[in-house]
Amino acid sequence: MVEEMTPRERFRKVMEFKKPDRLPWMEMQLDATTLRWIREGLTIDHVVKTRYDLIWNGSLLIVQPLPYTFDVSEYFGFIPLLNPETTIMIDLGPLPRYTSKILRSTEEKVLYRDPLGGKMEYSKDDYTMPRFIEFPVKNIEEWKEYKSRLDPTDPRRYPKDYTREQYIELFEEAITPTSLMVYGFYAFGRSMMGTAAFIPAFYTNPELVHDMMDTYADFLVEALKEIVQTLKSHIDWVFWHEDLSYGGGPNISPKLFKEFILPNLKKVTSLFNKNGIDLIILDSDGDPRPLMPLLWEGGIRGTWPMEVNAGMDAVELRKRYGKTWRFLGNIDKRVLTMRKEAIKYEIDKKLPYLKEEGGYIPGLDHVIPPDVSLENFTFYANYLKKYLDY
């Protein structure tokens, strides 16, 4: 009897345009959605994951299982896009952190200084993302201050349990895809200054933007060198977070990308490539298509989530680019709030062709949104599964 492939083996095969025993399926979960599904009947046993941790019990330090996250992947049978157990996250933030502090608290909202240097506000009554009130960098002086916190050799950047041997073993033996998550250049600039200030700064303050991009490239190469040279191709893919586009196209023009980002992107991706890591997947909402040739030139080899609403169509792009780009996602999340026929139609339209061509992993075109009912997601999961076997 032929042994079943692991999810990791399936992932690797598909990303090499080869056929595994079964197509893997990947999604990114959202706690707000899971909470909705619990209200709709999903039992806690299906979603709460525990792990053993050291806790204080009286005067004794003991080991006890503690709930630590919601996880619906096992129940539905998909692979979490970023599995916390096999995703290495090097701390690429400012060190030391800024002092976090509550600045104002009203009945509805809390304003606080974020440890990453900005000011944020969140509502007490919902699970939505906090709102940025102020970003860490507004001028060259603040950038210089922030820059002084970017020492790539600071040992705090690596996980506390990091030892070469242990991580090599962990990443060698993993049965789900292993990944490294990195904030890309646009994402870095946006998190420093906020979109509204960062984008015009390419024109209004080009020296600042150049310095930010160049500094960040050198910082990334130095900070990531240890893990990349240690794990090498045991890292299956790099999740390159950018979010550099919106529904109408890229946030920055190809001209700006070429001048400010491309040379720096190459610096970092060549570190990956030299160490046998070739699969670098762009995470960008919206429509990054006008940047795709430059992204490819910079070493990016795939993209997620491919929002249908923004005009992304994996079928059309596969036809245009052939077996080059790897695609993940691209199933219109909006159909999951519609009639079941719409869900079927969306899957039927894409899966047969993309599965046959290879280099594609199905999933929704972003996180599973909280307006999707448990009933509809269950229907989607079961219908999609019919297509997964080869």
Partner 1 sequence: MATQELISAFIALDYQKVKELVKEMLNSGISASEILKSMQEGMVAIGKKYEEGEYFLSELMAAGEIMKAGLEELMPHLIKGTMPSVGTVVIGTVKGDIHDVGKNLVKVLLQSSGFNVYDLGVDVPPEEFVNKVKEANADILALSALLTTTMNQARLVIEELKKAKLRDKVKVIVGGNPITEEFGKEIGADAAVRDAMHGIRICTEWVKGGRKWSKK
| Residues engaged in binding partner 1 (CB under 8 A) | 128-129, 131, 195-196, 199-200, 202-204, 246-254, 256, 286, 290, 309-310, 333-334, 337, 369-371
Q: Is the peptide bond before 94 cis (omega within 30 degrees of 0)?
A: no
CB of 192 to partner 1, least distance (A): 15
Which of residues 309 and 324 has its CB atom nearest to partner 1 in the complex? 309
Which residues have CB under 8 Å from 213's CB, separation 6+?
185, 188, 189, 260, 261, 264
Q: Nearer to partner 1 by C-beta: 163 or 337? A: 337
Instruction: Give 134 or 226: the residue with its C-beta nearer to partner 1.
Output: 134
Shortest CB 27 distance to partner 1, Å: 17
Look at residue 381 and give its three-state secondary structure. Answer: helix
Give min distance, CB of 21 to partner 1, in A: 35
CB of 123 to partner 1, least distance (A): 8
| Shortest Å distance, C-beta 308 to partner 1 | 11
Measured from the CB atom, is 194 or 362 closer to partner 1? 194
CB 100 within 8 A of CB 92: no
Q: Which residues contact 56 (CB under 8 A, 6 or more apart)?
A: none
Q: Which is nearer to partner 1, 53 or 316 (CB)?
A: 316
CB 309 to partner 1: min, Å: 6
Considering beta carbons, is residue 72 or 120 the nearer one to partner 1?
120
The Cα–Cα gap between 362 and 370 comes to 20
Q: Which is nearer to partner 1, 77 or 254 (CB)?
A: 254
Backbone phi, psi, residue 48, to 5°: -90, 125
Q: Which helix (H) or strand (E) holds 51?
A: strand 48-57
Q: How far is the CB of 371 from partner 1 (least distance, A)?
A: 5
Spatial CA neighbour of 28 closest among 295, 283, 353, 288: 283
* Minimum distance, C-beta of residue 208 to partner 1, in the bound complex (Å): 12
Provide, rounded to whole angstroms, the least separation between the CB of residue 196 and partner 1.
Answer: 6
Count, residues in the chain: 390
8 A C-beta contact, residue 25 and residue 78:
yes
- Of the pair 64, 337, the CB lying nearest partner 1 is at 337
Q: How far apart are CA 246 and CA 284, in angstroms?
A: 9
Per-residue tokens: 266 = 């190459």
- Euclidean distance between CA atoms 262 and 269, whole angstroms: 10
| Tally of CA atoms within 13 A in the half-sphere of 69 that contains its CB | 11
318 or 333: whose CB is closer to partner 1? 333
What is the C-alpha separation between 210 and 249, in angstroms, rounded?
Answer: 23
The encoded tokens of residue 275 equal 């160490």
How far is residue 64's CA from residue 50's CA, in Å, rounded to a whole number? 10
Q: Strands 237-241 and 101-105: what pairing?
A: unpaired
Rounded to whole angstroms, how far apart are CA atoms 96 and 274? 31
